[in-house]
């Protein structure tokens, strides 16, 4: 399995959104897609929070060097 990245998570979320908007899904299919979307959103939020923390640490380091 390919390693998940923020970009692949967002791409998959876009696919799920299109599927849920454009097709006739059963309730079970909708629930499955929704569950996957929630996990992808949680993954994306964590990736963004980690990136923000890294940027903040780097910014503090740069400010301390000045």
pLDDT in tens, 39-51: 999 999 999 999 9
The whole model's pTM is what?
0.81
Give the Cβ contact number of residue 9 at 10 Å. Answer: 19
- What does the pLDDT look like over 1-21, one tens digit per residue? 568 999 999 999 999 999 999
């Amino acid at each position: 399995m390919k390693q998940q990245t923020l970009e692949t998570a967002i791409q998959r979320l876009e696919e799920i959104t299109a599927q849920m908007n454009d097709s006739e899904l059963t309730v079970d299919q909708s629930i499955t897609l929704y569950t996957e979307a929630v996990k992808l959103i949680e993954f994306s939020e964590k990736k963004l929070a980690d990136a923000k923390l890294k940027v903040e640490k780097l910014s503090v380091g740069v400010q301390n060097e000045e």
